[in-house]
Chain A
């Protein structure tokens, strides 16, 4: 379970996230929507501490995974990132072979058993619905794949180290419609094994793939509700306005 309590986040003096408290259940898909710059990606990156990489940032409040505050001093960031995988907006495979891309997370975590690695690579590629397309060219460069395939490769790469949570930062925004629908199907099938949090600009996408939706605006979580309710009958007027396209 993911939970935040009174999260405030600052880039220098800029107050990017304002007092956000929410809960996400395991094996659900949660979508964050909202206009550009509303803080939804910043909020997503809290959960694997990718914001740590940015200089001059500041956080208050608690961010809990399975009841443990992941910003506590005793937490090892690389251990956390093994549990919380991430897929980025633009497919970012490494300049390595398809096989090595998926094996990378295992290798950096000191797993050397070759047959185990090969097995995990196959399982992960299958889970990411890419295996049939690449099984005969695992040694080929990842750059030979199409954009959509690259993104599924990045998903496989994240799955290989067996995370329990998967963060997706606009995973389909750089892809064509067919690749996008493949990613969406994939998200749906991954739900039974992973807790997924996805940031998206595409409201139809949020409606299609998620169980719950959070609407962000200007650093505030305006509404967090069941996706169905959110899109049919939201509680807040601002949500209604955004969803019907009156602004943003």
Chain B
């Protein structure tokens, strides 16, 4: 076989495999939409579950998931971004940075159920938050921290050194250089960290299992110390341990579809933001 034919065959294999990936995604989405679309409606999205979760909607779970997304981001973002700035801009490339980086990666590879257990021990019991939005948000915040630190670090590294040097040469301090030139330039890429972590937070079940999620709680939270329902846990509950699993099957698919749609919408929002800021920062 000559070189050209070999190359052709190789690329056909590569292309087929990458199309397979797309195919799988389309299949999953199609499956969920096909099974879930019929229950989706205004009522489903705006009412609480009823009749042993075989009827009614998922409104409290949607609200709960949104609370957890916002809560964990409020907690993890400042910490993550500041750590990323420290590692990338301030720390000399010595053993401290290496240590922090290794530890961050280790934190990122801890199974999420362990986070759940740790969150229960620390936030629920030791700090006495009880099962609550704040305990769940802290737990999820810890979970996404490594992701945010890493994306911040990468985003800052992508900023050309010429900007830093140019700023310092004008008598700016290091902090001014970071806040006025480096961070604004890196911001669109940092938003990517937000996109990824939103998806992660809305989908995680294990970390909220012992820290916040309620099996059935039709009323909405009134403070951050209340428990909430959350979409992934609700899905788990009605798919495995509801009162009548067969009867609540369509609701399970509807819940899955809602979860996917929320993640999708948030990604869309974040991508739009990123595009908007990117335009402001770059010219072309």
Binding site for B on A (CB under 8 A): 48, 50, 53, 55, 78-79, 81-82, 85-86, 88, 90, 92-95, 104-105, 107-109, 141-144, 154, 157-158, 161
Taken residue by residue from 162 to 196, chain B's Cβ proximity to chain A (1 for < 8 Å, 0 otherwise) reads as 11011111111100100011001100000000000
The 7 A-B residue pairs with the shortest CB-CB distance, nearest first, are: A143-B283, A92-B162, A105-B170, A108-B172, A141-B283, A82-B171, A86-B169
In the bound complex, residues from chain B placing their C-beta under 8 Å from that of A50 are 165, 168-169
133-173 of chain B: CB within 8 A of chain A: 160, 162-163, 165-173
Q: Would A143 and B284 count as touching, CB distance under 8 A?
A: yes
- Tell me the minimal C-beta distance from B264 to chain A in angstroms: 30
In the bound complex, residues from chain B placing their C-beta under 8 Å from that of A94 are 163, 166-167, 181, 185
Distance of A158 Cα from B181 Cα, bound (Å): 16
Which of B163, B180, B281, B282 is within 8 Å of A108, CB to CB?
Answer: B180
Q: Would A108 and B185 count as touching, CB distance under 8 A?
A: no
Cβ of B92 under 8 Å from chain A? yes
A55-B92, A108-B180 known; 7 other A-B pairs, CB under 8 Å? A48-B169, A78-B172, A95-B185, A95-B282, A104-B167, A141-B283, A143-B283
Distance of A157 Cα from B169 Cα, bound (Å): 10
**Considering only CB atoms and an 8 Å cut-off, how many residues of chain B contact the other chain?**
23
- Tell me the minimal C-beta distance from B177 to chain A in angstroms: 8
Does more than half of chain A's interface fall in helix, strand or loop, or is it mixed? helix
- Tell me the minimal C-beta distance from B91 to chain A in angstroms: 12
Taken residue by residue from 245 to 284, chain B's Cβ proximity to chain A (1 for < 8 Å, 0 otherwise) reads as 0000000000000000000000000000000000001111
With A95-B281, A141-B283 as known contacts, state yes or no: A108 contacts B169, CB within 8 Å.
Answer: no
Q: Would B160 and A92 count as touching, CB distance under 8 A?
A: yes
In the bound complex, residues from chain B placing their C-beta under 8 Å from that of A141 are 282-283
Q: Would B173 and A108 count as touching, CB distance under 8 A?
A: yes
Which of A53, A55, A108 is within 8 Å of B170, CB to CB?
Answer: A108
In the bound complex, residues from chain A placing their C-beta under 8 Å from that of B160 are 92
Which of A86, A104, A109, A143 is within 8 Å of B180, CB to CB?
Answer: A104
In the bound complex, residues from chain A placing their C-beta under 8 Å from that of B283 are 95, 141-144
Distance of A93 Cα from B173 Cα, bound (Å): 18
With A88-B162, A95-B282, A143-B283 as known contacts, state yes or no: A53 contacts B171, CB within 8 Å.
Answer: no
Distance of A92 Cα from B169 Cα, bound (Å): 12
With A50-B165, A92-B165, A95-B184 as known contacts, state yes or no: A104 contacts B282, CB within 8 Å.
Answer: no
- Tell me the minimal C-beta distance from B280 to chain A in angstroms: 9
Distance of A141 Cα from B163 Cα, bound (Å): 15
Q: Would B170 and A88 count as touching, CB distance under 8 A?
A: no
Q: Would A157 and B170 count as touching, CB distance under 8 A?
A: yes
